[in-house]
Each structure stands twice: as C-alpha cells, then as structure tokens.
Homo-oligomer: A and B are copies of this chain.
Amino acid sequence: MKEGKNLQKEDIKQLIAIRNDNQLKKYLEDTHHADLAEIIKELDNNEDRQYLLEQLDNEVAALVLNELNPEFVAELLEQISKDKVSEIFVEMPFDDAADFLGELSDNEKEKFLKLFEVHDAQDVQELMDYAADTAGGIMTTEYVAIPENITAGKTIEVLREIAPDAETVYYVYVINLQNQLVGVISLRELIIANPQAVISEIMRRKVISVNVKDDQEDVARLVSKYDFLAIPVVDDNQHLIGIITVDDIIDVIHEEATEDLYRLAGTYSAEEDLSSARFTTALKSRLPWLLITLFGGIISGQVLDIFSHQFNTVVALTFFIPMLIGMGGNVGTQSSTVTVRGIATGHINAGTAIKTILKEAMVGFSLGTVMGTLVALVAFVWQDSLILGVVVGLAMLVNMFTAATLGTLVPIFFKKIGIDPAVASAPFITTTIDIVGLVIYAILAVLLLGVV
C-alpha cells in the first residue's frame, strides 16, 4: 500500500518535471492534499512548486498550503502571481490564514487582509491577536451555532447549508441572544432525535469549554480525557468565540511531546523538528546547554584540584570517577524524565508532589544500596582493599540517593515557580549531580581513608 503511494508520488514529480498538464490533472484529482503537501516539500525548486500550485483547484491548493509550515508558505506565495495567491487565500480556513499572516510584515499583512470580505477580515485579525500556544491561538471561528428554540429538523437543514464552510458539523453549539454558550448537541444525537423536538429540550446543558486564554496543553488534556472531536472556546463572559478540533489537538500533543523530549535532552528550538532543522539552528539549539555543562565541568575540575592530594595518594580513587559520574547522571536523568512526563500527563500535581518526591528518594536509596554494594564488591576485588570498597560503595549510595531526589525535586520546584519543568533537563541536573557526587566522594575518602 505504501509502496503504491510512493510510486504515485514519483509519477507526479515526473509529470511536473515534464510539464504534462493533462496527465498530471488526472493524477492530482486522485491525490490527498496531505500527500500533495509532501510532494511540494520534496520538489527541488520553486518553479516546480509554483507550477504544481497552479494546476490545483484553489480550494485544494488552500488545503495543501494549510499542511505546510507558515514560514515556508509565505516564501512560496511570494513567487507566484498575485491573482492566484488571492484566489487560494480566500479559500483558507481562518485559523490557518491567521497563522500564515502572522509570518508576514505589517505591510504585506494589510495587503492580504484586504482580500477577505470585511467581516471575515475581522475574524482573521482577531485570531492573529491570540498567543500561539493558547486556546485562542489554535481555535477556528468556523463553527456551527444555533439558537435554542429551533427544532432538530430545522437544525439539520441549517447544517446542510453551512456544512461546506464549517470545520466540523459533528457538534452543533447552542447560544442564547447574548451569544453565550448554553448547550451542545452532536450530529449523532440530532439524527436520532425526533425532527419536531426543540433543541433546548434535547441539548446537553453541561458543556465543557475552555477559555480563550487557556494554555494549549491544558486544552489537549481535556480533549484527550473526554474523547471529544472538538471543544468550544469562550471568552471571560461565556461568549462562544471559536472551536478547537481534534486534528489540531493531535498537532499540539506531538508538539508538546517533542518539546519536552528536546528540552530534557538539553536542546531547544522554536522550530518543531530539529532532525530536519538547518545547520545553524541545530548548533544554536545546543550551545546554551553545553555551556552549562562546561561551567559545571570547570567546577568539578576545581573539586578534584582541591582534593588532588587524596586522589594522588590513593590513585585507585580516580578509577571510579567515571563510574560515579555516569551512575549519578543516569539516575538523575531517569528521575527527572519520569517526573517531567508525570507533570505533563497530569499524574503529578500539587496533591501528589510530596508523595512523588518521597517515593523517588526511596527508589534512589534502594537503587543506591544495590549498586553501591555491587560497586563496593568490584572495588574490593579489583583493588584488594576493603576500605576502598567501603568508600566507593558509600559514595555511590549517597550519590544515587541525591541524584534521584534532586532529579525529582527540581522539576517539581520549577513547575511550582512557573518555569517549564523540562528545563530541569539532563545537562542541568547531571551537572549539579556531578559536582555534588564528587564532593561527597572526596569527603568520604578523607574521612575513611584518613588521607589528608
């Protein structure tokens, strides 16, 4: 099946290369806009892209452009004729149009906005004003709303008319005269209902909605929890101003998971996908975290310098430094990852925070006991010194306990003071643990080996 898809894509690229309009048209009718978007991305040059866009119906072209990132679209549209651009543009859903306009200069923005009818232009302008990672930033204004006093049969008639323009027709929202959200009815319920039934009698009055300023992550959590296909967005006065559909929620879930993952690994970028990012973006996304590690490394070095007499006297102490650092970093990364994910999925919240920290500390202590014993045995057998084994084993135990506790505490603390917990990432946590671990190790050596 996938093979077939790829073959078809290659055929289309061929037809574009040789500018075979007739054959191409036949292929294009049969190709999903998401696939067309992939083809556009994969084409070698803007002339080919422009040619392909011109072969598409305006409506299809708008759908294709929606699949692409707004920056790329802005670049692309500059290449093609202004007339074609306006024709495509007015077919775009308002939320996508707003995203795209957000990438343009004020001047160009004005120009594009004039292509819409006055009322539509206002809608698009309003959408642009919301922060990108809020409910307002991802909602669309193309929903279906009805008054509560019409019948189910009449509602279906209304749906028939506006279906082509709405993002979804599967939920119909019910509003009062002040445009406040008072109910919801699904198309599934509508087709089962008696056509004579009045909406106010059959709608659900308890509507779960989000505020336009809510964080997109919270919105995603609600939609996931309740298995909605869309969720209504209201302002502070309960006025219905938009909806967010499940396909946009899926994008948010992907985006947030990627963001957490990148931050945890100590790379961050506003661009969503670093695996295909530009070279300079890739560099810039990593340098800050490496500088943290460099700084931590210098402090670790200073610690070794301060205790260099001990490490020089008992050379074997040095052999265990990589193991100690590796193990502490490992446990710290495990704990901070589990904690950051737990916060993201809502399993860790204000109520469970203390319990989580205590549990992780216990886990660290238990792991430390097991691994400490193992390491002590290794040290004893390898270096034939019981006391060295005790020093190394104890250092490992304390180190792992500290690592697990810090790895859990720091993200929870960050969350509490309003910093993204994922910033408590591998580099940040492991660097701290490196330093703490080395100090503990050196002090234990001084105390137990009596080397001063």
Contacts and interface: CB of A to CB of B under 8 A. Distances in A.
Nearest to A262: B337
A374 interface: yes
B229 A289 contact: no
Interface string A349-373: 0001000100110110011001100
B347 A322 contact: no
B359 A279 contact: yes
Interface in A302-352: 302, 304-305, 308, 311-312, 315-316, 318-327, 329-331, 333-334, 336-339, 341-343, 345, 347-348, 352
A249 interface: yes
Nearest to A38: B225
A68 interface: no
Given A192-B160, A211-B1, A267-B337, A323 B297 contact: yes
Contact of A247 (B227, B324, B370, B374): B227
B323 A325 contact: no
Interface string A385-428: 00000000000000000000000000000000000000000110
Contact of A426 (B247, B273, B316, B330): B330
A275 B342 contact: yes
Contact of A290 (B298, B362, B367): B367
A378 interface: yes
Main secondary structure of the interface of A (DSSP, over half): helix
A283 B371 contact: no
Given A265-B337, A330-B426, A254 B345 contact: yes
How many of these chains are in the complex? Answer: 2
A347 B275 contact: yes
A32 B367 contact: no
A325 B325 contact: yes
Given A330-B290, A431-B326, A246 B261 contact: no
A140 interface: no
Contact of A320 (B297, B323, B427): B297
B333 A426 contact: yes
A26 interface: no
A50 interface: no
Contacts of A274: 338, 341-342
A283 B366 contact: yes
Contact of A225 (B34, B262, B356, B430): B34
Interface in A257-280: 257-258, 260-262, 264-267, 273-276, 279
A250 interface: yes
A229 B246 contact: yes
Contact of A208 (B32, B363, B367): B32
B258 A330 contact: no
A261 B341 contact: yes
The 10 A-B pairs at the shortest CB distance, nearest first, are namely A275-B342, A297-B323, A265-B337, A300-B322, A257-B257, A301-B319, A227-B247, A274-B338, A275-B347, A267-B334
24 contacts: A32-B208, A34-B225, A156-B191, A169-B188, A170-B229, A229-B229, A253-B257, A254-B345, A257-B261, A262-B341, A265-B333, A265-B337, A273-B341, A275-B347, A290-B330, A290-B331, A296-B323, A297-B324, A300-B322, A308-B319, A318-B321, A322-B434, A330-B427, A333-B426
Interface of A: 1, 30, 32, 34, 156, 159-160, 163-164, 169-170, 187-188, 191-192, 206, 208-209, 211, 223-227, 229, 246-247, 249-251, 253-254, 257-258, 260-262, 264-267, 273-276, 279, 282-283, 286-287, 289-290, 293-294, 296-298, 300-302, 304-305, 308, 311-312, 315-316, 318-327, 329-331, 333-334, 336-339, 341-343, 345, 347-348, 352, 356, 359-360, 362-363, 366-367, 370-371, 374-375, 378, 382, 426-427, 430-431, 434, 438
Given A1-B209, A170-B170, A304-B322, 15 more contacts: A32-B208, A169-B188, A224-B250, A224-B251, A273-B341, A273-B345, A275-B338, A275-B342, A276-B347, A283-B367, A290-B371, A293-B327, A312-B315, A326-B427, A330-B427
